[in-house]
């Protein structure tokens, strides 16, 4: 590998990592315009394993907005990112597959709108994301996202 190719691979890796981070921030901040902009025009998302829907990213963004509205605090972490670059039309590096684990605590707002999350999360779930990415003229974008929720815990608050 030449230094130029190695530098390009590092730059792609950083850009892909940034895209995955932007995904987490968009969901946690409830920035659904930013969420939609992370996807290709034909991008799709599948949240069925987490009790959600599968469909066009714009429709899934609407579902997420409604489903996450009760949670004033969202802070999900995406770790153990494994990136594999693929080939599109004989050009290496125009596609990527990312598998990454996540941990997602969610805390509801109190009746008075205060962030009750300081007392701890109401729901914590974890699993794995499978991102299929495409290099576009606007940079890397998500073509497909599949959420593979592996576990969910709802803490007992009766004590």
Helix (H, G, I), strand (E, B) or coil at 22: helix
pTM: 0.88
Helix (H, G, I), strand (E, B) or coil at 108: strand
Q: Which residues pair with 54 in a beta bridge?
A: 46
User: Region 116-135: what's the mean pLDDT?
Assistant: 86
Inter-residue contact 32 to 26 (CB < 8 Å): yes
User: Region 125-148: what's the mean pLDDT?
Assistant: 97
Helix (H, G, I), strand (E, B) or coil at 84: strand
pLDDT at 155: 73
pLDDT at 49: 97
Share of the chain above pLDDT 70, in %: 86
pLDDT tens digits for range 24-39: 999 999 999 999 999 9
pLDDT tens digits for range 74-122: 999 999 999 999 866 655 568 999 999 999 999 987 665 555 545 677 8
Beta strands in the chain (DSSP E): 39-46, 54-56, 71-74, 77-88, 91-108, 123-136, 139-153
Residue 22 pLDDT > 60, yes or no?
A: yes
- What CA–CA distance (Å, rounded) separates 130 from 136? 19
pLDDT at 6: 79
Share of the chain above pLDDT 90, in %: 73
């Amino acid at each position: 590998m030449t230094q130029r190719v190695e530098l390009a691979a590092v730059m792609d890796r950083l850009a892909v990592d940034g895209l995955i981070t932007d995904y987490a921030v968009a969901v946690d901040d409830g920035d659904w315009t930013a969420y939609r902009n992370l996807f290709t025009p034909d991008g799709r998302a599948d949240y069925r394993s987490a009790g959600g829907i599968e469909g066009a990213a714009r429709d899934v963004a609407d579902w997420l907005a409604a489903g996450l509205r009760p949670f004033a605090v969202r802070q999900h972490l995406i770790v153990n990112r494994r990136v594999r670059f693929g080939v599109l039309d004989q050009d290496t590096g125009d596609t990527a597959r990312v598998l990454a684990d996540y941990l997602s605590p969610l805390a509801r707002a109190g009746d008075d709108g205060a962030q009750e999350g300081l007392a701890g999360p109401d729901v914590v779930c974890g699993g794995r994301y499978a991102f299929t990415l495409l290099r576009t003229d606007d940079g890397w974008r998500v073509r497909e996202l599949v959420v593979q929720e592996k576990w969910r815990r709802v803490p007992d608050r009766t004590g």
